[in-house]
Copies of this chain bind each other. A is one copy, B any other.
């Protein structure tokens, strides 16, 4: 694997390959040509060949790609073969919704606890997952070997909490707060800025309407 030379653009596309290959696998197809994958994914076949070549010769001339093999290999590259322990910070609407996503757990992403400062929420369970007081976070992260924190606080509280998470040894933050976080270089952040996304939709909608 030459993962470190892989560009960010390719990495951004990998989960989408994984998703399409999963769908193709579910439909019972065992192999697929880059041409067919291209027409499904609306990406050029040469782009597909170029992207997948980064990960070694998964394709064979005249045969195409072995769907299951390619799906598994990309899954490994994405870290799906290992399990990842997570906490959700914030027991509000979004925190609860994410805690109920069964597909995360099925793929090795296990939410071990939800943390909140609200006394009305502490002690409750969302599905099987308990809500703990934020004061228990540090010890919990250590004991439960938590790697990923899902941050669903309002932006006013998000930056301070990010500092706490870093000080607890968290190395990855999935950030749903409506603000960017300042974290050290060895902590990875993936943003889900929902309102930014809605504004892109709104922009595209209004630019169509003007045409």
User: Which residues from chain A sit less than 8 Å from chain B, CB to CB?
Assistant: 3-4, 11-12, 14-16, 18-19, 23, 77-80, 82, 84, 93-94, 96-98, 100-101, 103-104, 107, 109, 147-148, 171-172, 174, 178-179, 186, 188, 190, 192-211
CB distance from A161 to the nearest CB of B (A): 17
Sample (15) of A-B pairs whose CB atoms are under 8 Å apart: A3-B207, A3-B210, A14-B199, A14-B203, A16-B193, A19-B196, A79-B205, A104-B195, A148-B201, A148-B202, A171-B208, A172-B201, A186-B208, A188-B201, A192-B192
Contact B203 A79 (CB under 8 A): yes
Number of copies: 2
CB distance from A159 to the nearest CB of B (A): 11
Q: Identify A205's interface contact among B98, B100, B148, B194, CB under 8 A.
A: B148
Residue of chain B at shortest CB distance from A199 = B15
Contact A188 B204 (CB under 8 A): yes
Q: Identify A16's interface contact among B16, B188, B196, B207, CB under 8 A.
A: B196
**List of B residues within 8 angstroms of A171 by Cβ:** 205, 208-209
Taken together as a complex, chains A and B put the C-alpha atoms of A78 and B178 apart, in Å, by 17
Q: Identify A203's interface contact among B77, B97, B178, B202, CB under 8 A.
A: B77
**List of B residues within 8 angstroms of A179 by Cβ:** 19, 23
**List of B residues within 8 angstroms of A208 by Cβ:** 171, 186, 188
Contact A202 B109 (CB under 8 A): yes
Taken together as a complex, chains A and B put the C-alpha atoms of A15 and B174 apart, in Å, by 19
CB distance from A105 to the nearest CB of B (A): 12
Taken together as a complex, chains A and B put the C-alpha atoms of A43 and B190 apart, in Å, by 17
**List of B residues within 8 angstroms of A200 by Cβ:** 11-12, 14-15, 190
**List of B residues within 8 angstroms of A209 by Cβ:** 171
Contact A193 B82 (CB under 8 A): no
